[in-house]
Amino acid sequence: MQTNLDDKKGFLVLDKRVYVDGKPIGQFADVAGVKVFELARHREEHLFKIYHGYGLSKNFLGYLVQIGVEEIHLLLDGKRLGVLVKEWIRSGMEVRYEPYEPQIVLREEMFITLE
């Protein structure tokens, strides 16, 4: 099954994988009965240094809520960090910079180490 989230920005859900501009960014998983979105990141490449956090598209976070995803797991340099989707939205800060869509950035300290 294919779901196109936003033709203008290039979001695409194909089966359990999510792509942005043709590149895979993460996947959906069931972890101990909890619906999760997992994404792998490297701290040096993906940390918003100014905000000390990680960002996801505001529209995509809304989509996660809409389809019932409860948690986001960040696979970061060999560690699994987790946060509730609603917590990311509630505690994150909206960041806008061209040419990207609005992001919600969650501070690194808000994540809980899972493994």
pLDDT band at 7 (very low <50, low <70, confident <90, very high): very low
Ordered by start, the domain boundaries in the chain are 23-113
Tens of pLDDT, residue by residue over 32-50, are 999 999 998 766 665 666 7
Query: HEC states along 71-114?
Result: EEEEEECCEEEEEEHHHHHHHCEEECCCCCCCEEEEEHHHCEEC
What's the token pair of residue 66? 């809409």
Q: What is the pTM of this model?
A: 0.83
* Integer Cα distance of 64 and 87 in angstroms: 12
